[in-house]
Amino acid sequence: MRNGSIEHMKPWEKLSIFILMVLISYFFGAIFSGVLTSVLGGDLDMLSSQDYGSMEVLRLKKILLFVSHIFIFIIPALVFSKLASFHPLEFLNLNPPTKKWFLVVPLLFIGLTIFNELLYLLNRSIDFSFISSAFQAKLELQQAWSDKMIHAFVGTTWKSYFFNLILIAIVPAIGEELTFRGVIQRLTINGTQNVHIGIVMCAALFALIHFQPFNILPIFVLGVCYGYISIALGSLWFTIVLHFLNNALQISLLHLARYYRWDMGSDSSGMLFQIPILLVTIGTLYYLYRKNESGLGGGEDISNEV
């Protein structure tokens, strides 16, 4: 496997190859998961079980979730970057981050968190009557099972909390950012010859792949924000950190709610405090955009950009 062996190909050809690589890696991941399940003494019934009260089922599902992230997101992105460029780290935008920009990360995180919550509430108010009631009920059931699985994963011990930070926060943040902002976004930008269209296309795929229709709006907008941030700040490390903090916040709130038996009901009393923070965050994003506008111009090929 030589570095840059497919660098000469067109962006859409590269994207097709990358999708094929993901499917092949998924296939091998499924085989590996089956072997691992057997080695660990599990079976197909246990694998499909929704009995999240069983520690054996939870342990197996956690291990397989970790394996799936490695095979679906991390391995294909790393292998593809070597094939697509003579400088894989630059291709993935894993350039050393400019330390001064880490000063804006806390502000971006707080602002995006507030914005994400507002979009979540807006998404919940959307009328989904345009789809059949049976299909809507199926989606709601799938969302409920997904929420129940995450809730069960979190647990009540601090040992499980720190393990889940790795499983649900760190690994997905690295894998998804490598795949979406590192590979797919670069290819869609180069393919459309327009940064904005490329970012939106990548964010749409980012939202669809999560398959959470009742959360699709905040996921999509978060993907758009991550896209602009990764380019404006010149390094994927910033969005990896933001993605990790977003996941870690959700895990931490769930863990503390279970540990201290808190009521996680929504409260809008802090809106007057949240809105100024949100406006400052939007202003910061706009400033970063204007400062790096030359690097965001439509039609610029960023495939070899440092």
8 A C-beta contact, residue 242 and residue 226: yes
Q: How far is the first Cα of the chain from the last one, in angstroms, to the nearest whole number?
A: 23
CA atoms within a 13 Å half-sphere pointing along the CA-CB vector of 42: 23
The CA distance from 31 to 27, in Å, is 6
**In this structure, are residues 177 and 240 in contact, taking their beta carbons and an 8 Å threshold?**
yes
Listed by start position, the domains of the chain span 11-295
> For 29-52, how does the pLDDT look when each residue is reduced to its tens digit (9 = 90+)?
999 998 988 888 776 566 665 666
More confident residue, 4 or 271: 4
pLDDT of 43:
66
Segment (H or E) for 210: helix 195-210
Residue 260 or residue 298, greater confidence: 260
Structure pTM? Answer: 0.84
- Quick count: other Cβ atoms within 10 Å of Cβ 87? 14
